[in-house]
Amino acid sequence: MLKHFLPDQHVKSIFEITPHSLKEKGVKGIITDLDNTLVEWDRPNATPKLISWFEEMKQSNIKVTIVSNNNENRVKAFSHPLDIPFIYQARKPMGRAFRRALSEMGLKKEETVVIGDQLLTDVLGGNRSGFHTILVVPVAQTDGFVTKFNRLVERRILNWFRKKGMIQWED
């Protein structure tokens, strides 16, 4: 059961994920979390660097869909100016939003990665749904109320993985 919490890959930042590295793996699509994955949970808009990252993906024909547990106003306000498809109130780690994003992008699981900053929502949901998962270090040191609880549980899981030699990266 705990293996469902183990990401396939770990990076310090979304910016370490390049179109070239994705295309080498046959990836044509990204399902990504929003808060603390792309920007801080309390930042309303994309940074110039993130806008460039999205543009680079678009120019490389890599589709991106934002899948967030947050409310419609938050996700739409962020995604709409960037013209990026989104799914709000996704109820991750449940699989329905992942399947919907995949269907809307017209891709197969094998062609799509799931990127997020949380083991309990993004990684668990992506793994249970059969995707390649990429865990990123959260971009903010602070979290909303529910996420604070999740982080406590995540630390215990990560420590267990570390003790078993299943992960080698630093927090």
Residue showing tokens 């059961």: 1
Tell me the one-letter amino acid at 21.
S
Per-residue model confidence as pLDDT tens digits over 146-157: 677 787 888 888
125 phi, psi to nearest 5 deg = -65, -45
**Cα distance between residue 131 and residue 65, in whole Å:** 14
Region 88-99: mean pLDDT is 97
| pTM listed for this prediction | 0.90
Query: Looking at the predicted structure, is the pLDDT value of residue 170 above 80?
Result: no
What six digits make up the tokens of 18?
Answer: 């390049």
The CATH architecture annotation of domain 2-163 reads 3-Layer(aba) Sandwich (3.40)
Q: Between residues 26 and 160, which one has the greater pLDDT? A: 26
Q: How confident is the model at residue 32 (pLDDT cuts 50, 70, 90)?
A: very high
Specify the pLDDT at position 159: 85
Residues 6+ apart with CB under 8 A from 119: 5, 7, 135, 150, 153, 154, 157, 158
Specify the pLDDT at position 143: 65
